[in-house]
Structure 1
Amino acid sequence: MKDKERESGMYKHLSGIILTIAVMIAVIPSQTYAERTTDKEEVYEFLQNAFQAQVELSGEERSMNEVNELLDPYFSGEAKNQFLKENLVSENGKYFTLGSDSAANYIPFFTYSENTKVVEESGNVYVYEYFPENHEGPVGYESHYEGVMLTKHGEEIKVAKFLGENIPDKIIKKAEGKQEAAEQTSFKAPEGNWLYTPSYQLGFLLNPFEAMFRSGSMLLTDNKGIIALIEKKELHGQLAAN
C-alpha cells in the first residue's frame, strides 16, 4: 500500500515538473526564437540597402557631398574610401560610378538564404557565402567565398571591411559548428521546431495534459536515459486513480 502511495506521489510530482517545463517552453521561447530570426533579417535588409546606395551612384552625377550623404549611413570611412577609390570617376566637377558585373568593393550578390552565414565575433558581424563555380552567363567564376565585415556601435551597424575571399577560418568553423549543433538539436521536425509552432502552443492552452503527454518524454529524457520515458496509458491510469 505504501509503495502505491509512494508511486502515486512520484507521478504527481513528475507531472508537476512536466507542467512547469511545458508552460515555460510554450510561452517564452517563441519570442526568443523570433528575436534571433529578426536580427538576421535586419542584417540582410541593411546589406541590401547598402548595395542599393552603391548602385544609385551610377544613376546620375552628384557632388562629393551628395556622394558622402548617400554612403555614410551604411559604410565606415575606411570602407567608403575603398569603394570610391576603385569605382568613382569624375567629370566636370561631378562624380559617378561606372556599373560593372565584376566591380571591386561592392556588397556581394548574396542569396540571403540559409547559405548566407551571419556570425558575430568580438563585436563584429561577419556575413559571407560560398559560391560554387559558375561558367554560364557573361561572367564566369570558380568556386569561392565572398563576404563583408560589419561593426556594431550600440544600435548602429556599418560595413567596415570588404573581405572578398578572405573569410577568417575561425569564422567559417564557428558557422559550421552552429549549423551542426542546430541539426543535432532540431528534433528532426520537418518544418522547424515543434515547440515554436502555433498548433502546439494552442493545443497546450486548450488541453495542457494532452500537450504534455506528446512532448514530455522528449523534454525529460536525456541521452543517457537518466529519466525513463513515461507511457501515456500508465500515467493516465495513475491520474485517474487519484
Structure 2
Amino acid sequence: MITNRKFSIATIISTSFLREGKQMEMKKLWLLLLIVGLVTAACGQVSQTQASEFTEDNALTLVEDAFRTQVSLSEKPQTKKQINDKLSQYFTKDLAASFIKENVYEVEGGYITFGSDFAPHYIPFLKYDESTNVRYIDGKWYVWEERKDEEEGPVSQVSGIEAVVLSEEEGTWKVSSITYELPEKIQSQ
C-alpha cells in the first residue's frame, strides 16, 4: 500500500540500514556525504581563488590573444558559428555579437572580416611594452596606451587614450569593451 507521506532520502536510507542492524554502514554513508560536501565546497573556493589571482600579465595576454583572434578572422571564410566560437573565448557575448554585426561580411564560402584602421569593436594596436598600462579598478581590468599625434608613413594617429576593458563573464575574464576614456579613479592616480 502506498501512502502520501513524504520522507527525505536520508530518512529512508537511515531507516533501512537501522532495521537491518547495519549501523557501521550508516556511519560510512554519513562520512561519505560529509566528504562529498567538503570537496564540493573546496572546488567552489578554488574557482574563486583562481578568479582573484588574475594578474596584469594575464590581462595583457588576454588582450593580445583577443586581438590576434580578431585579425585571424580575415584570413579565410568560415561559418558564423566558427567565428562566434573563436570570439566567445575572449569577448563577452554582447561585444562578440556587436563585432560580428559591424565587421563580419558574407562572401563566397562563408563569412570574413576585412581589414580597416577604423573598424568598430577592434582591439587597438598596442605595443605591449612599458608604454602599455594595466590597472584593476572597481571589478574591471583596464589595458591602455596614451597616443601622441603622429603622422609617420601611411598611418596617422590622433593623441588620446585607447583602452580595452576586461570584465568577468560566467567566471572567466573577457574583453567587454573598447573605449577612449578611463575612469576618474585611474586618471587621478
Specify the TM-score bucket, using the shorter chain as the normaliser: 0.5 to 0.7
In the alignment, residue 113 of structure 1 is paired with which amino acid? D
Query: What secondary structure sits across from 2:186 in the alignment?
Result: helix
Alpha-carbon offset, residue 113 of structure 1: 2.0
Partner deviation per Cα, 1:116-136 (whole Å, 9 max, x = no partner): 111112211111110111111
Alpha-carbon offset, residue 155 of structure 1: 5.8
- Retained in 2: the 8 A contact 1:128–1:145? yes
Between Structure 1 and Structure 2, the one with more helix by share is: 1
Identity, % of aligned positions:
34
2:56 matched to which residue of 1?
Answer: 40
- Retained in 1: the 8 A contact 2:90–2:174? yes
Distance 1:154 1:123, change over 3 A: farther
Distance 1:153 1:113, change over 3 A: same
Tell me, yes or no, if structure 1 residue 51 matches structure 2 residue 67. Answer: yes
Tell me, yes or no, if structure 1 residue 97 matches structure 2 residue 113. Answer: yes
Alpha-carbon offset, residue 169 of structure 1: 2.7
1:158 matched to which residue of 2?
Answer: 174
Query: C-alpha distance in 2, partners of 1:86/1:124?
Result: 25
- Retained in 2: the 8 A contact 1:125–1:151? yes
2:165 matched to which residue of 1?
Answer: 149
Partner deviation per Cα, 1:117-163 (whole Å, 9 max, x = no partner): 11112211111110111111112122111011101358621001111
Tell me, yes or no, if structure 1 residue 74 matches structure 2 residue 90. Answer: yes
The count of corresponding residues between Structure 1 and Structure 2 is 136
In the alignment, residue 166 of structure 1 is paired with which amino acid? E
Q: Which runs of 4+ in 1 moved over 4 A?
A: none
In the alignment, residue 146 of structure 1 is paired with which amino acid? E
Unaligned runs of 5+ in 1: 1-37, 178-242
Alpha-carbon offset, residue 102 of structure 1: 2.9
Alpha-carbon offset, residue 58 of structure 1: 0.3
- Retained in 1: the 8 A contact 2:59–2:141? no
- Retained in 2: the 8 A contact 1:147–1:162? yes
CA RMSD of aligned residues (A): 1.9
TM-score (norm 1): 0.52
